[in-house]
Structure 1
Amino acid sequence: MRLDALAERIGCRLEGDGALDILGVGALEDAGPADVTLVADVRYLPRLRESRAGSVILPESLPADRPALRTGNPYLALARALAVFHPPEPRSAGVHPTAVVAPDACVDPTAWVGPLCVVAAGSAIGAGTVLDAQVFVGADVRIGSDCRMFPQVTLREGTWVGDRVIVHSGTVIGADGFGYARDGARCVKIPQVGHVVLEDDVEIGANTAIDRATLGATRIGRGTKIDNLVQIAHNVQVGEDTVIAGQSGIAGSSRIGSRVTIAAQVGVVDHVRIGDDVVIGGQAGVAKEIPPGSVILGSPAVPHLEFKRQLAAIARLPRLGKMLRTLEERLRAL
């Protein structure tokens, strides 16, 4: 593909030789003369100078030493370029001979149910959806159109999945919530009779758990992206276009707003409300309500500027201790 054609496809402004033939997208270290690469930050310009890449996706502010595709959103341009050179693989349709599909389950003729899958009674699989090998779909599950369930995904009974949802291997949607009542010294299980709702365009990483509600629904809002190894407890409500990074845990009945960013290893206690557009830094511990638009760090989490002041104060403690000892020595000498 010519570079000028690629620029038009991915919405970039061409700078340089548009006749350059581009065959793919490569990392700075690996790209060759027929590849386009990405530099989104000034820190990587020295590595660009050493790269063999024929062209580069660049923000408007950075200098170019070769044909460039200029854009205000380099990562979006990269996503579009990768989609050009790596289109989705062709999908089969039908039911593999080793799959087990209940007689009253409804599988759209354009869907694919792969080897050793199980689709239980009363479930429905939408048009163009792919269930890879060993996916388990429990009773009365609803999966919309153009979804992808990677191998060994488990969708427990009653789960509702919207359109264009992606769930990666090893993830369990709809396991029982962690709910028990004390009877003296014993723990008595509270039946978890709710379900899970994944709205349209949600993506869930590998080995993540989203538990069913005790009553009602645990809900993941439209467009939200959840990383690997995340725990979402019963009755949690997550808004739209939120991002939750790996090894984070959201305790029961918490409410997370829309467009929230939760970095890795964040812990959120139960029944907490987090407003829209909040940013929570890595390893933060959230134990109280967070107003919309806040940026918080630390454990317990506090506004990020306060957290930075605390860190600065801690860094001064050795010097302050030395000063205090000096003053004590002077007082004793009086």
Structure 2
Amino acid sequence: MEKTLQELAAFLHGTLENDDPAMRITGVNGLVEAGPSDISFAIPPYVEFCHKSRAGAMILAPGDRTLDRPVIRVDNPKQAFAELLELFRPQEEVARVISPLAYIAADAKIGNNVAVQPFVVVESGAEIGDNTVIYSHAYVGRHVKVGADCIIYPNATIRENCVIGDRDILQSGCVIGGDGFGFVTNNGKHNKVQQTGNVVLGDDVEVGCNSCIDRATVGSTVVGNGTKLDNLVHLGHNDVVGENNLFVAMVGIPGSVTIGNNNTFGGQAATVGHITIGNNNVMAARCGVIGNIGDNQVLAGFPSMSHVEWLRQQSKLRKIGELMKTVKELKKEIEALKKS
């Protein structure tokens, strides 16, 4: 595929500067990897380095630096880059057939234009929506409902009675609806509490590789529309997660936590159970939240505190060695004064 700069500017609804009518863009690439026939993008703080790129053209925001090469100005360069990736590198089309090597229960309901690859298992009472693709070795349990336009990658597991929304993506190795970690200790023995609920995923949810969302003890563990889980994320039983949240790798959320909308959890961030977190918060990497959180906060550290306070404390911690040296010197002076 090749496109003129004017065609790309129109596709992105952007403004073209320094047009080169003879230039043909044949690919999309990063700043370092891009060549003369590629288009790339830059956002702060990388805008200052884009002049060093070999890219034939750049995507920048209005007001960013001027370059001596073609530039397409758009409000969100990263979004534009993502759209061009889809244009130049569309996903390979999957054959919309049901493999004879798949096991599909007689009473399962399969929608139109669905792909089911070899060694998939679809249990009794399950429903698969239109245009959904299920890759080899995925498991769809009893009475599961999968929406339309979903992608279920190899070795993903959806346990019984769970509900998957439309346009959801389940990456390899994820488990939706495994038992919650529920036990009652009696006379020193840990007795299992049956986990009788399910998991309900909204629309446009993505669950990364080897992430787990546990089924509720009773009721539902809920993940709202547009929420994205990275790899190795754990959501405990009876969690209720709102819309458009981001969970970076290795985040751990125990049971019965309520999370609002538009929150971001950095890598290895975690909370205690049975708390409520509001909307529009950012929990930095390895942040440990031990109590209820309101809205519009940026938190870091353990126990969690404002990011500004955490930076202040970290600055002071760096001076502990110097402080200890001063204390030792003062102790020597005090001992000398006592002897005099």
The TM-score with structure 1 as length reference comes to 0.96
Equivalent positions of 1:11-50 (< 5 A) are: 11-17=13-19, 19=21, 20-43=23-46, 45-46=48-49, 48-50=50-52
Which of 204-213 and 30-39 deviates more?
A: 30-39
246, 251, 254: which one pairs with 1:248? 251
**Cα displacement (A) at 1:179:** 0.5
**Does structure 2 retain, via aligned residues, the 8 Å contact 1:149–1:168?**
yes
Aligned to 2:320: 317
- The CA RMSD over aligned residues, in Å, is 1.5
Aligned-partner Cα distance in 1 for 2:104–2:39? 45
| 1:266 equivalent in structure 2 | 269
> Map of 1:24-103 to 2, 5 A cutoff?
24-43=27-46, 45-46=48-49, 48-60=50-62, 61-103=64-106
Q: Secondary structure at the match of 1:32?
A: coil
Match of 1:203 in 2: 206
Query: How big is the shift at 1:311?
Result: 1.1
Question: Against the structure 1 CA distance between its residues 164 and 18, is the aligned structure 2 distance closer, same or farther, given a 3 Å change threshold?
Answer: farther
CA distance in 2 between counterparts of 1:279 and 1:28 reads 28
Question: Does structure 2 retain, via aligned residues, the 8 Å contact 1:200–1:223?
Answer: yes
Q: Secondary structure at the match of 1:322?
A: helix
Q: Which residue of 2 aligns with 1:152?
A: 155
Q: Which moved more, 1:249-258 or 1:21-30?
A: 21-30
Paired amino acid for 2:102: A
Residue 8 of structure 1: how far off its partner (Å): 1.5
Aligned letter for 2:107? Answer: D
Q: Measure the CA separation in 2 of the matches of 1:123 and 1:43.
A: 48
In terms of mean alpha carbon deviation, does 66-75 or 152-161 score higher?
Answer: 66-75
Q: Where in structure 2 are there 5+ consecutive unaligned residues?
A: none
- What code does the residue aligned with 1:270 have? G
1:188 aligned counterpart, secondary structure:
strand
- Partner of residue 230 from structure 2, selected from 192, 211, 227: 227
Residue of structure 2 in register with 1:215 after alignment: 218
Shift of 1:262: 0.3
| Partner of residue 7, structure 1 | 9
Whether the 8 Å CA contact 2:47–2:65 is kept in 1: the answer is no
Paired residues, number = 333
Using the TM superposition, give the Cα deviation of residue 323 of structure 1 relative to its aligned residue in structure 2, in angstroms: 3.1
Match of 1:173, SS state, is strand
- Separation (CA, whole Å) in 2 of partners of 1:233 and 1:296: 22
Structure 1 residue 293 and structure 2 residue 305: aligned?
no
State the SS of the aligned residue for 2:319.
helix
Q: CA deviation at 1:39?
A: 1.7
Shift of 1:4: 1.2
TM-score in terms of structure 2 length: 0.94
User: What residue in structure 1 maps to residue 121 of structure 2?
Assistant: 118
Aligned match of 1:105: 108
1:314 to partner: Cα distance? 1.4
The CA distance in 2 between the partners of 1:162 and 1:74, in whole Å, is 29
Partner deviation per Cα, 1:112-159 (whole Å, 9 max, x = no partner): 111110111111000100001111000000011100001111000011
> How far off is 1:28 after superposition?
2.2
Structure 1 stretch displaced more, 157-166 or 22-31: 22-31
- Amino acid across the alignment from 2:78: Y
Structure 1 spans left out of the alignment, 5+ residues: none
Confirm whether residue 188 of structure 1 aligns to residue 191 of structure 2.
yes
Could you say what secondary structure the match of 1:178 adopts? Answer: coil
